[in-house]
Amino acid sequence: MSNGHGNEPKNRPETLAARALGWIDPATGAVSPPVQPSTTYARGPDYKLLTPHGYLRAESAAYDQPEALLAKLEGGAAAALFASGMAATTAVFQALKPGDHVVVQESIYFNLPKWLREWAVPWGLEASFVPTGDVPALAAALRPGKTRLAWIETPANPTWLVTDIAAAAAAAHRAGALLAVDNTAASPVLTRPIELGADIVMHSATKYLNGHSDVLAGALVAARDDDYWKRVKYVRTRAGAVMGPFEAWLLLRGMRTLHLRVRQQSQSALAIATHFKGHPKLLRVCYPGLPDDPGHAVAKRQMQGGYGGMLSLRFKGGAAAALAFVARLQLFVRATSLGGVESLVEHRGTIEGPDSPTPQDLLRVSVGIEHVDDLIADLEQGFAAI
Ligand SMILES: *Cc1c(COP(=O)(O)O)cnc(C)c1O
């Protein structure tokens, strides 16, 4: 990752991301890296590998640059890319041992509690579920000497409740457990959990890191390159939940504009939340950037430069009103996922099913980079339907 002069300045995150760490192809001088599709790497006559790369499932040259950039942006010792956010997430739990206990928040990205209940618990993990945002409840569920890991998501899907990362890390560490943080919604632009005491950071890189709704990707960042991290890497290398080289290339390309996108999305989300707060047809607007939001005080402390591009609207008229409202929207695409440049809206209740803890009157909104006045006008005309 050198500019060839050996005098790289200590740059700010925006600069590191825009330049993808300043890498220049030594063979051609290319500023954009080549896509490296090779599954295998040659050995010399002494049968030693020519570079640290051997076989794509274990380590690809295509991962080096995005992993190095993400580790820098999160302030971690190492990063690893995975085939998806869930592949990264499950590696964190699969690196534990049967009989280990974990504490996980209840209302978060819904696939994780589902996978834990349906797969990890039958496999042998013990799991306790605690209310999202509530650090005393998390602390009370930790069993010193038995709990190996606590998992939090902040702001958490799809209510955008905020958890105090520093307090959760202190509680986990007092019990001898690690703290893992799903930092997908905040991104390292707004929150760096490792600086607040977290041990592992997870991203669905499908979302803000890539930012263009065209790559499925996951990533982990570790505070320390220790034995636990080696076990996590083992899950990727041996079990094979790896990312394709072209996806890694696209991800790096997306990350170059991360700061611009997330700042614009945060600014527009705050404008939308402020505009619709107190609307007579809404129960409430869930957004940690609103001064009266339950998570605002903690968010103000641990998020820098914005409160993210995600918000939810809860309708007084219940699921029927929420669905009638989305049916009229013209600009917001009715689709799952989040963090892309185009605005999306989703009725999570339909996706998560009737046992979901998500209120059926809730619509999740992912704010893109369109002009905010156009977005507000689209939402305004949606209210005419209900
Ligand atoms: C999408 C998402 C995930 C899962 O990531 P995939 O890339 O879809 O596997 C995990 N956490 C959060 C917060 C997400 O939004």
Residues 77 and 214 both lie in one domain: yes
**Top mutation candidate among 132, 181, 207 for ligand 1, by most atoms within 8 Å of CB:** 207
Q: Is 82 in the pocket of ligand 1 (CB under 6 A)?
A: no
**Interval between CA 109 and ligand 1 midpoint (Å):** 7
Residues 250 and 268 both lie in one domain: no
Could you tell me if 73 and 210 are in contact, meaning their C-beta atoms sit under 8 angstroms apart? Answer: no
Residues 271 and 232 both lie in one domain: no
Could you tell me if 368 and 340 are in contact, meaning their C-beta atoms sit under 8 angstroms apart? Answer: yes
Residues 234 and 206 both lie in one domain: yes
- Position 2 pLDDT exceeds 60: no
Q: Is 288 in the pocket of ligand 1 (CB under 6 A)?
A: no
Tell me the average pLDDT across 189-211. 98
For residue 307, is it within any domain? yes
Instruction: Indicate the residue among 198, 228, 255 that finishes a domain.
Output: 255
**Interval between CA 290 and ligand 1 midpoint (Å):** 25
Structural domain count, the chain: 2
Collect all residues with Cβ–Cβ distance below 8 Å to 262 and sequence separation of at least 6: 187, 189, 190, 208, 306, 308, 309
- State how beta strands 362-366 and 310-315 pair: antiparallel
Residues 284 and 186 both lie in one domain: no
Atom of ligand 1 nearest to the CA of 86: 9
DSSP state of 39: S
DSSP state of 205: T
Could you tell me if 343 and 367 are in contact, meaning their C-beta atoms sit under 8 angstroms apart? Answer: yes
For residue 1, is it within any domain? no
Residue 146's closest CA among 205, 106, 214, 98?
98
Burial of 288 (0-12, 13-18, 19+ CB in 10 A): buried
Residues 242 and 265 both lie in one domain: no
Residues 280 and 244 both lie in one domain: no
CA–CA dist 60, 216 (Å, integer): 17
Residue reference for tokens 């490792």: 194
- Strands (E) across 154-198 are located at 178-182
Helix (H) or strand (E) holding 71: helix 61-74
CA 57 to chain centre: 23
Give residue 8's pLDDT band: very low, low, confident or very high (50, 70, 90).
Answer: low
- State how beta strands 218-222 and 78-82 pair: antiparallel
Q: What is the CATH number of the domain that holds 91?
A: 3.40.640.10
Residues for the chain: how many in total?
386
- Strands (E) across 239-321 are located at 282-286, 310-315
For residue 26, is it within any domain? no
For residue 113, is it within any domain? yes
For residue 301, is it within any domain? yes
Residues 262 and 251 both lie in one domain: no
Instruction: Indicate the residue among 238, 255, 272 that finishes a domain.
Output: 255
Residues 242 and 362 both lie in one domain: no
Question: Looking at this protein, which amino acid is placed at residue 381?
Answer: Q
Residues 272 and 249 both lie in one domain: no
**Interval between CA 85 and ligand 1 midpoint (Å):** 5
Which pLDDT score, from 0 to 100, does residue 338 have?
98
Which pLDDT score, from 0 to 100, does residue 354 have?
78
For residue 14, is it within any domain? no
What's the pLDDT tens digit per position in 217-265? Answer: 999 999 999 999 999 999 999 999 999 999 999 999 999 999 999 999 9
CA–CA dist 213, 84 (Å, integer): 13
What's the pLDDT tens digit per position in 74-121? Answer: 999 999 999 999 999 999 999 999 999 999 999 999 999 999 999 999
- Strands (E) across the chain are located at 78-82, 101-105, 126-130, 147-153, 178-182, 200-204, 218-222, 282-286, 310-315, 333-334, 344-346, 362-366
- Position 3 pLDDT exceeds 50: no
Q: Which strands make up the sheet holding 78-82, listed edge to edge?
A: 78-82, 218-222, 200-204, 178-182, 147-153, 101-105, 126-130
CA–CA dist 347, 140 (Å, integer): 33
Could you tell me if 106 and 138 are in contact, meaning their C-beta atoms sit under 8 angstroms apart? Answer: no
For residue 7, is it within any domain? no
For residue 11, is it within any domain? no
With pLDDT > 70 as the criterion, what percentage of the chain qualifies? 98
Is 46 a catalytic site residue? no
Is 230 a catalytic site residue? no
Q: What is the CATH number of the domain that holds 324?
A: 3.90.1150.10
Instruction: Indicate the residue among 200, 227, 255 that finishes a domain.
Output: 255
Is 233 a catalytic site residue? no
Q: How many CB atoms are located within 10 Å of the residue 301 CB?
A: 13
Residues 268 and 306 both lie in one domain: yes
Token readout for 320 is: 């029927």
CA–CA dist 368, 365 (Å, integer): 9
Which pLDDT score, from 0 to 100, does residue 4 have?
47
Which pLDDT score, from 0 to 100, does residue 7 have?
55
Q: Ligand 1, atom 7: nearest CA belongs to which residue?
A: 85
Could you tell me if 122 and 75 are in contact, meaning their C-beta atoms sit under 8 angstroms apart? Answer: no
Tell me the average pLDDT across 155-183. 98
Residues 183 and 313 both lie in one domain: no
Question: Could you list the residue range(s) of the whole structural domain that residue 91 is in?
Answer: 35-255
Question: Integer distance in angstroms from the first to the last C-alpha of the chain?
Answer: 55
